[in-house]
Amino acid sequence: MSTYRFPPLTDFLIDQITFAMEDQKMLSFLDLKEGVVITDEERYFLDEEEQEDPSRFVALPSWTSADGFRLMEQYAERVRNDVVQERLFSALNQGKGVFRAFKDVLNREPALEQKWYLFKEQELRKRVILWYQAEAEAAELEALPSEDEELFEDILLEDFTFEACDHFDKEEIKQLAQTLLLEIGTSSGAGLFIEQALQSNERKLTHLARTAAGELAGLIVYTLAGDSTAEILLYGIDARYRGLGLFRLLFDGFSRQLGRIRVDRIIFSVLEQNPKLKDLFIRYGATPITTTYELPTRKWNMDHANSEKAFL
């Protein structure tokens, strides 16, 4: 386990990271011990033991000329002036000297040039925050200043949509549910309980997260027990979209949707391998009502004195 924590993601650190990302001639890292960006050259001057510390240095997110080109394309698509937009795309399509040609067009349009730099700064900032959150994981997210948490939520809300769905039997929903079940383990106690609940005749409802392209990214499957209680049977995020804080936004929309129909409590289980999720729920008022254990009979029978012998 690493002895280092991710430092607070300040504006200064974001600027350091983005500057290093764009410098494609120099390899740089985030130094978790010092909380700063360090180049490979600077790392060379450290003691050998420090250089080889496997958990101290984190590689920065990659940023290639192809990434820069795609960013220019995205900006050109946003320009509403047809004449300038055509000139920008012409610059992008000329082959050699694309970056210089793109900047030359913007140099003649000061307002659009300023917007370009703001757009570029914002997109790089998004890339850094997304990378940081994925690297730091949920335990480290408290290091983010509140304004960056809000920005990150804005990014997710731009890239994902959330919706209530009355039908559990849609093929895409059943496929993701099956994938999540396989991860839990269909032969485990938790997996068997969940699978049995999903196969019951009770009416099952869902709350979904989708990508901007409409692909299913996460789900909550639940039933309504009476008028005021919802019981969650299964929840999870597609593995490709984990580490972004997406589940918290999915659950937030789910809880608010229930509040609108006067459902005032939610019952759910948290698997032992998700202690951070348990901490999240407790922080917002969840209280444990029972604890479920899985006990191998073989383990009990081997370790506990055989009481049956008393009757022989």
pLDDT at 155 (0 to 100) = 61
Average pLDDT over residues 184-202: 83
d(CA 173, CA 198): 12
Give pLDDT tens digits for 163-178.
998 888 889 999 999 9
Determine which helix (DSSP H) or strand (DSSP E) holds 194, and give its type and residue range: helix 189-198
Mean pLDDT for 241-253 is 82
65 closest CA partner among 104, 33, 35, 92:
92
Q: Give domain 159-283's CATH number out of 3.40.50.970, 3.40.630.30, 1.10.3720.10, 3.30.365.10.
A: 3.40.630.30
Over residues 266-294, the mean pLDDT reads 81
Note the pTM of the prediction, 2 decimals: 0.55
If pLDDT is split at 50, 70 and 90, which confidence band does 141 have?
Answer: very low
> For residues 128 and 61, what is the distance between their CA atoms, to the nearest angstrom?
7
Residues with Cβ within 8 Å of residue 143, at least 6 apart in sequence: 5, 6, 7, 8, 9, 136
CB neighbour class for 243 (10 Å; exposed up to 12, middle 13-18, buried from 19): middle
Domain range annotation of the chain? 1-79+108-144, 159-283
Calculate mean pLDDT across residues 182-197. Answer: 81
Mapped onto helix, strand or coil, the DSSP state of residue 208 is strand
Round to whole Å and give the CA distance between 174 and 72: 39
Q: Label residue 142 by pLDDT band (50, 70, 90).
A: very low
Q: Is the pLDDT of residue 39 over 50?
A: yes
